[in-house]
């Protein structure tokens, strides 16, 4: 059948997926992403292209940004939990209404 061919192709893709797998470079350098760093073959050299004062300021800014991100991520947890619980409640509501059960003929049909 046609759909069997489709499933076979999909399964082949799943197995071949791992062929391209490679681990990333473990030595990670933290730096701001800009058009210069994104174009550069050697981004590390660009990141180090600062005088001492600028570098100190950049480090302080980075630390401040990281603290903001950490706080925002932490604050978002409550909303995410509420969204997930709301979705669960809504699906339970639909299930109560539409879960398959014995047919009921309406008054006009009876």
Partner 1 sequence: MRSVKSDQGNSWSIKDFDYDVPEHSLSFGYSIGGVTLFGFVLLAITGIVMALFYSPTVDGAKDSILNFVSDPLGMWLRSFHRWTADVIVFLIILHLSRIILTGSYMGKRKFNWFFGIALLFLTFAFFFTGTTLKWDQEGYEAFLHMIEATELVPLGGLIASFLKGALVVMRLFVTHTLILPLLLLLFLIPHLVLMKLNGLSPNPNKISTKKVKISKHLNKVFGFSFAIYGFVAFLAAQFPVIVYPGPYSGVEMTKPPWAFLALYALEDKFGLAALIISPIIVLLGFVILPYIDSKSGPDSKAHKIVVWSYLCIVGIVIGLIIYVALTPPVQHLDMNMN
Site for partner 1, rule CB under 8 A: 3, 6-7, 10, 13-14, 16-22, 24-25, 28-35, 37-43, 62, 64-66, 68-70, 72-73, 76-77, 79-81, 83-88, 90-91, 94-95, 97-106, 108-109
Least distance to partner 1, CB of residue 85, Å: 8
Task: Determine the 3-state secondary structure of 69 from DSSP.
Answer: helix
Using CB atoms within 10 Å of the CB of residue 97, give its burial: 0 to 12 exposed, 13 to 18 middle, 19+ buried. Answer: exposed
* Structure tokens belonging to residue 53: 């004062």
DSSP conformational letter for 109:
T
Smallest gap from Cβ 110 to partner 1, in A, equals 10
């Amino acid at each position: 059948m046609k759909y069997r061919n489709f499933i076979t192709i999909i399964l082949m893709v799943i197995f071949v997926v791992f062929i391209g797998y490679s681990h990333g470079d473990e030595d990670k350098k933290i730096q701001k992403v800009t058009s210069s760093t994104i174009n550069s073959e050697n981004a590390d050299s660009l990141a180090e292209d600062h005088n001492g004062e600028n570098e100190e300021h950049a480090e302080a800014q980075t630390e401040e940004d990281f603290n903001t991100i950490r706080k925002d991520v932490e604050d978002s947890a409550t909303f995410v939990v509420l969204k997930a619980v709301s979705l669960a409640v809504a699906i339970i509501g639909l299930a109560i209404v539409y879960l398959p059960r014995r047919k009921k003929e309406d008054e006009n049909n009876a």
